[in-house]
Structure 1
Amino acid sequence: MASQSQGIQQLLQAEKRAAEKVAEARKRKTRRLRQAKEEAQAEIEQYRIGREREFQHKQHASLGSQGNLSTEVDQQTRKKIQSMQANYQSNRERVLRTLLSLVCDIKPEIHQNYRITA
């Protein structure tokens, strides 16, 4: 009976060691998964940062050229407005005189298509 009891003790100890090994393996597996997840997150973050830089560069290049176009358009618009104001100032008096003469200097005439009916 002592040998049976000793065999059971050995089985229990073996079972206990196996359970400890399984628990240790699970802990290692959990640590490896956690580590792999952290590495993947770091890699994803690096990729995201790289893509963000590339996007910012392209956006800056695109908007930079549009900004230059906008500046050029603003300058051209200012020049045209100044030109129109100069034309207005130089021609204002002449146009007013012409309009006033057309309105005030009336020369009554009979229209050429008018027929005298008797």
Structure 2
Amino acid sequence: QLQLNVRKNGFNNKQTMASQTQGIQQLLTAEKRAAEKVAEARKRKAKRIKQAREEAQAEIERYRQERERLFREYEAKYMGSKEDVAAKIDKNAQILIQDLHREVENNKEKVLAELLDLVCNIEPEVHRNYFVMNP
């Protein structure tokens, strides 16, 4: 009977070891599948973040384009185009230049007469500090 028990125990040990090995294999397989699922979840998360970032950039670009369009409309409505503004500035500058030329022509003789009078009609006099220095 002792031999029979040993054989039974030996057989049971082999069966138990095989069962344990099978359990370990199942655990390793489950761990591998869990790691794969975690990796897939990380990939999905990274993909969602990338997609959200791209959508946000697209929305920002749409908003910027809309604001630029509104600004161009406002500028055209209230200020005119850049060419119109430049033309207005040039026109105003030409008017001012013409006015200055007209003023020069109108006052030219008068200014020349005053300059000649100041240059030609000199009244020499002794400086007031001269008497203080030489009593």
Return 14-23 or 30-39, whichever deviates more.
30-39
Instruction: Structure 2: state its 5+ residue gaps.
Output: 1-5, 118-135
* Aligned position for 1:116: none
Q: How far apart are 1:67 and its partner, in Å?
A: 4.3
Aligned length in residues: 107
The yes-or-no answer on 1:56 pairing with 2:56 is: no
Indicate the RMSD between aligned Cα atoms, in angstroms.
Answer: 2.5
* Aligned position for 1:95: 103
Structure whose alpha-carbon radius of gyration is higher: 2
The yes-or-no answer on 1:66 pairing with 2:71 is: yes
Alignment TM-score, normalising by the size of structure 1? 0.74
With a CA cutoff of 8 Å and minimum separation of 6, indicate the structure with the bigger relative contact order: 2
The yes-or-no answer on 1:83 pairing with 2:91 is: yes
Instruction: Structure 1: state its 5+ residue gaps.
Output: 109-118
**Deviation sequence 1:1-21 (CA, Å, 0-9, x none):** 111111111111111001100
Distance 2:17 2:34 in 1: 25
Alignment TM-score, normalising by the size of structure 2? 0.66
**Aligned pairs (5 A) from 1:14-29:** 14-29=19-34
Distance 1:80 1:56 in 2: 34
* Aligned position for 2:3: none
